[in-house]
Amino acid sequence: MSLVKSTAAYSISNLVLKFGGVLLLPLMTRLLSPNEYGVIGLLMTISSLLTIVIGFGLYNPQNKVQSKYKNKKELGDYLSTQLILFLILNSFFSFVYILFINSEIGTKIYLEYGINYHELLLILILSIISGWNVIIISYFKMDRRYYFVAIISIISFSLFYGLAFTFITLFSDNVVSYILSNILSQIIISIFLSYKYIKLMSFSFNKNNAKYAIKMGFPVIFTELSGRVIEASDRLILAKFISMAEVGVYILASTGGRILSVFISGYTNSLYQYLYDDIRSKRVISSYSKYFVVITILVVLGQLLSKPLIPLIFPSDYTNLHLYFSLILPIFALQYFYFLDFYFHVSEDSKYIPIFSVFISVLSIVLNFVFIQKYGVYGAVISTYLCLILRFSIQSLWIKIKYDVNIKYINFIFLSLIQFLCPYIDNKNNLSLYSIITLCVILTATCIVYICVNIDEIKMVNNNDK
């Protein structure tokens, strides 16, 4: 399948899911108070962290094996080993997790955030099922069954929201109802996917396969945790210094901002496969660079449209939602930079990822403590931006030195700063027609400057394609 078709397959399904989720947010916010939304947001953040750890990055070595092994028996042996390894690792992890939340320290921590013990147990169950589903879905993606994955994703989405609205309406505990809806939808999808997936297995255990899975999978945990820790640390630290209701508004803005990931993940998930063919592909670099201009335009349009629309759609008790949404959109745009991790994975240099991830994660926690105490939500945005830009710059330089791939990171930083113009002007004075025209002129000028700077590279790539 071509780059355009595979991108379309991912993007259409993601568009339905993300855009559908955003459309349903007004209904959800009428059933959940800002405080309840804050608690659910924190629990889902914990679940996203657990899902990464529980999955142990096994999808990455699975992708490598899948592209390498054409023999069904060899692939079946690997998948069987992977399943046994997954069960062993998760049994141990669950034991440690339950010990921790039963400890005095663990109890003190979760009670401080208004979270209950049984909610944390449900989150563990949800994370295990989700971690398993990530591995299976990754297999079907690498098998280029994009439309199958798209249909499964839409079914899962429909099941979750259907159950969520039903349970929240019927039962008094809205937080538990939300989590149970998620668990049941994941279980139904898991049963269907596992049936097709397990049929591929030969039910054997190979030590070499297990060692390879751990070697290639473990560094991926740090890759994914880096982004999640940045996200989780700001929410958890914000909850210590501002009200849970305000945290709920911040998380709601983040949820709306995820619609941008439709245009990011759909493209990068399709693009990274071409790195397996040629890690120095100029087509990949050119496409990657040009697409960030598109993302910048989408961010500014989202910021401009959200100001008149948000007050009409959401309840009035979700105050400052527009401002938080405008600030968070550029942060979501920076998640585009995680594509650079694939250069290390494809080259089997995943060992470098933990270095970047641990450093940036620790820095994120430190900066969040420093800035959030003084500036609240603004501090969270500042610290997240600095961490993501620093990681991107370091990785770009490293990739240039090690793989001789030149990524013009200065262009990306310039475009990322442009994305903060709209909330800056809006915060200083209300957006007027003059302000909107000014932003459009700046954005147009940015595109022109970008094309002029990269004109030689664009011509070269176009000539090569011909």
Structure tokens at 458: 């664009």
Whether residue 158 is found in the same domain as residue 241: no
Q: 212 in a domain, yes or no? A: no
* Predicted local confidence at residue 465, as pLDDT: 46
Kindly state whether residues 47 and 165 are assigned to the same domain: yes
Reported as a single tens digit per residue, the pLDDT across 419-441 is 888 787 766 655 455 555 655 66
Mean pLDDT (the chain, rounded):
82
What confidence tens digit (pLDDT) does each residue in 198-223 have? 888 887 888 888 888 888 888 778 77
Same domain, 373 and 284: yes
Q: Does residue 184 surpass a pLDDT of 90?
A: yes
Distance CA 153, CA 137 (A): 9
CA 451, distance to chain mean position in Å, is 29
Task: Pick 338 or 83 by higher pLDDT.
Answer: 83
Please tell me the predicted confidence (pLDDT) of residue 444: 65
Going by pLDDT thresholds of 50, 70 and 90, the confidence category of residue 453 is low
Q: Is residue 324 part of a domain?
A: yes
Answer yes or no: do 345 and 450 share one domain. yes
pLDDT at 338: 77
As a 3-state breakdown, the chain gives helix, strand, coil percent values, each rounded to 5, of 85, 0, 15
164, burial (CB in 10 Å: exposed 0-12, middle 13-18, buried 19+) = buried
**87: CB partners within 8 A, 6+ apart:** none
Determine, yes or no, domain membership for 217: no
Higher pLDDT pick, 370 / 15: 370
Q: Highest mean pLDDT: which of 138-147, 272-281, 370-379?
A: 370-379
Domain count, the chain: 2
pLDDT, residue 461, reads 45
CB atoms within 10 A of CB 316: 7
Does 89 share its domain with 181? yes
Domain assignment present for 215: no
* Token pair listed for 211: 């060692």
Q: Which of 205, 234, 254 is the last residue of a domain?
A: 205
Task: Indicate whether 66 pLDDT > 90.
Answer: no
- pLDDT at 395 (0 to 100): 86
The pLDDT of residue 336: 81
Question: Both 412 and 445 in a single domain?
Answer: yes
If DSSP codes are grouped into helix, strand and coil, which group holds residue 431? coil
Q: Which of 226, 165, 465 is nearest to 356 (CA)?
A: 226
Indicate if 120 and 242 belong to the same structural domain.
no
Does a structural domain hold residue 20?
A: no
Same domain, 88 and 199: yes
- Using H for helix, E for strand and C for coil, what is the string for 49-89? HHHHHHHCCCHHHHHHHHHHCCCHHHHHHHHHHHHHHHHHH
In a domain, 4, yes or no: no
Note the pLDDT tens digit of each residue in 84-97. 999 999 999 999 99
Residues 199 and 278 both lie in one domain: no
Q: What share of the chain has pLDDT > 70, as a percent?
A: 86
State which of 265-274, 336-345, 398-407 shows the largest mean pLDDT: 398-407
The contacts found for 316-319 with CB under 8 angstroms, 24 or more apart, are 317/33, 317/34, 317/245, 318/29, 318/34, 318/248, 318/249, 318/252, 319/249
Which domain-ending residue is among 177, 205, 233? Answer: 205
Picking from 275, 258, 268, 274, the residue whose alpha carbon sits closest to that of residue 289 is 268
Q: Are residues 55 and 191 in the same domain?
A: yes
Do residue 446 and residue 332 come from a single domain? yes
Closest CA to 126 of 199, 27, 45: 45
The answer to whether residue 134 is domain-embedded is: yes
Q: Is residue 218 part of a domain?
A: no
pLDDT at 170 over 80: yes
**pLDDT of 315 above 60:** yes
| pLDDT score, position 96 | 94
Mean pLDDT of 337-343: 79
**Can you give the C-alpha Rg of the chain in angstroms?**
22
CA–CA dist 270, 268 (Å, integer): 5
Average pLDDT over residues 435-458: 58
Among 171, 205, 239, the domain-final residue is: 205
For residues 324 and 302, the answer to whether their CB atoms sit within 8 Å is no
| Structure confidence at residue 6 (pLDDT) | 58
Percent residues over pLDDT 90 in the chain: 20
The domain of 389 spans 9-15+25-30+225-466
